């Protein structure tokens, strides 16, 4: 029983009328010359009414005196790509929930950790692939105090169909760890990979 | 005639058989307990045969003596979200083209700049939203020497249906600029927003 044993058995085209979680959309729009054009894209069906985003990605940094700050990551098999990914904890927002509430709830469910919202504001609303789909999220910054009693033996509260393994990487090692994990066969989620690129650019250019 | 005048006129569900650019996929897979489950997702139809990624995002840094290094960004109306986005230059890979070749070609077409591949390796293959779709890209690092004659008056080579405006932001200002542009009504692409978050985390934690 391991994530690495998960396998795609088969794939097939899915008709719109048979799909429950995703859909295709045709958009007719006007270009800067007022000419009418059309575009094809995909959407999730899960966004609550009246909410303008799908969910959150959680930048959870673990703090313990004497050890370097570390980023909480997780492994999860993702059927759309047929691989185990390296991701930040994340989840879809519920109706009547703020992004921060969503982040603390998902963090606890997926990892067992009780986090606190950090003093870095949540990110801009970020669009994952805006030429192809409307999916988007806020990154929420959370700190996890490992000295707190309730964080000494965290117990994830996973649903029956969720299989997630958590681990940590020191911030300073994220860039090299992403490359090492990719070589081992893991797929790197864009949030993790782009944070790592950002760290490397900041290191190289020393502009801050 | 401005990007900001573009508007969505209407949207409608798109049947699989009517879609040319995107599709829905059903995946049957085995979980870590060898139980068979299924998943719904979306894909682009444009990936060349035998290639394992869709395209590239281009981190193009402009260099000129006496000015701070700046990131090349662009504005583009994106019908799937009905907004003008702030993105890095990007594009879909052609068959028989490396990620680096794709990056230099797209950079020239979209911005008119002749870039050179930087000494930072291209990123890991990054998955944009792996629970929802298979779309992915490499980030390619490019430097643009503004002292080169051919970069003094860059002329984009846009197609008839492409409307893109380029601009630059000093790396050190990216985080605050993203927030300012979002307040003005622009949508922040995840590559741009996550790089900015990475810069801010590097600044705050000073781990590099």
What is the residue-level pLDDT of chain B in tens, covering all 208 positions? 799 999 999 999 999 999 999 999 999 999 999 999 999 999 999 999 999 999 999 999 998 889 999 999 999 999 999 999 999 999 999 999 999 999 999 999 999 999 999 998 999 999 999 999 999 999 999 999 999 999 999 999 999 999 999 999 999 999 999 999 999 999 999 999 999 999 999 999 988 6
Question: Would you say residue B2 lies in a domain?
Answer: no
> For A31, which residue in chain B has the nearest alpha carbon?
B6
Question: Would you say residue B9 lies in a domain?
Answer: no
Question: What is the structure's pLDDT at A208?
Answer: 62
* Chain B residues inside the 8 Å CB shell of A129: 128-129, 133, 135, 190
Exposure string of A111-132, with b = 16+ CB inside 10 Å and e = fewer, is bbbbbebbebebbbbbbbbbbb
List A residues 86-105 in contact with B (Cβ-Cβ < 8 A). Answer: 87
What is the sign of the dihedral through the CA atoms of B25, A188, B171 and A124? Answer: positive
* Chain B residues inside the 8 Å CB shell of A163: 31-32
Give me the CATH number covering residue A80: 3.90.79.10
Question: Would you say residue B1 lies in a domain?
Answer: no
Question: Would you say residue A5 lies in a domain?
Answer: no
C-beta atoms of B26 and A13 within 8 A: yes
A164 touching B (Cβ < 8 Å): no
Question: What is the structure's pLDDT at A84?
Answer: 98
User: Cα–Cα distance between B162 and A83 in angstroms, integer?
Assistant: 34
* Chain A residues inside the 8 Å CB shell of B203: 202, 208
A9 touching B (Cβ < 8 Å): yes
Pick the residue of B3, B80, B184, B185 with the most A CBs within 10 A to test the interface with A by mutation.
Answer: B80
By Cβ distance, the residue of B1, B25, B36 closest to A13 is B25
* Chain A residues inside the 8 Å CB shell of B42: 22, 24, 42, 80, 132-133
Question: Would you say residue A2 lies in a domain?
Answer: no
Question: Would you say residue A125 lies in a domain?
Answer: yes
Domain of A156 in residue numbering reads as 11-205
Question: What is the structure's pLDDT at B64?
Answer: 87
Are the beta carbons of B16 and B24 closer than 8 angstroms?
yes
Which runs of consecutive H residues, i.e. helices, occur in chain A? 99-111, 174-183, 190-205
The total of structural domains in chain A comes to: 1
Q: For chain B, how long is the longest CA-to-CA vector?
A: 62
Question: Would you say residue B175 lies in a domain?
Answer: yes
> For B178, which residue in chain A has the nearest alpha carbon?
A124
| pLDDT, tens digit (0-9, with 9 covering 90-100), for A149-208 | 999 999 999 999 999 999 999 999 999 999 999 999 999 999 999 999 999 999 999 886
What is the mean predicted confidence (pLDDT) over A102-108? 98
Question: What is the structure's pLDDT at B208?
Answer: 61
């Amino acid at each position: 029983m391991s994530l690495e044993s998960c396998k795609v058995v088969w794939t097939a085209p899915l008709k719109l009328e048979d799909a429950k979680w995703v859909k295709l959309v045709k958009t007719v729009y006007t270009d800067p010359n007022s000419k009418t054009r059309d575009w094809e894209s995909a959407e999730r069906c899960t966004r609550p009414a009246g909410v303008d985003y799908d969910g959150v990605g959680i930048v959870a940094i673990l703090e313990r005196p004497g050890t370097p700050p570390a980023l909480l990551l997780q492994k999860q098999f993702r059927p759309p790509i047929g691989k185990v990914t390296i991701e930040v904890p994340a989840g879809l927002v519920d109706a009547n929930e703020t992004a921060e509430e969503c982040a603390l709830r998902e963090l606890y469910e997926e990892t067992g950790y009780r986090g606190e919202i950090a003093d870095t504001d949540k990110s801009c609303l970020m669009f994952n692939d805006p030429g192809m789909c409307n999916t988007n999220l806020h990154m929420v910054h959370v700190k996890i105090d490992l000295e707190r009693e309730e964080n000494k033996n965290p117990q994830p509260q996973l649903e029956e169909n969720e299989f997630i393994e958590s681990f940590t990487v020191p911030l300073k090692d994220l860039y090299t760890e992403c490359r090492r994990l990719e070589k081992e066969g893991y797929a790197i989620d864009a949030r993790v990979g782009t944070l790592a690129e950002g760290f490397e650019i900041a290191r190289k250019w020393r502009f801050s």
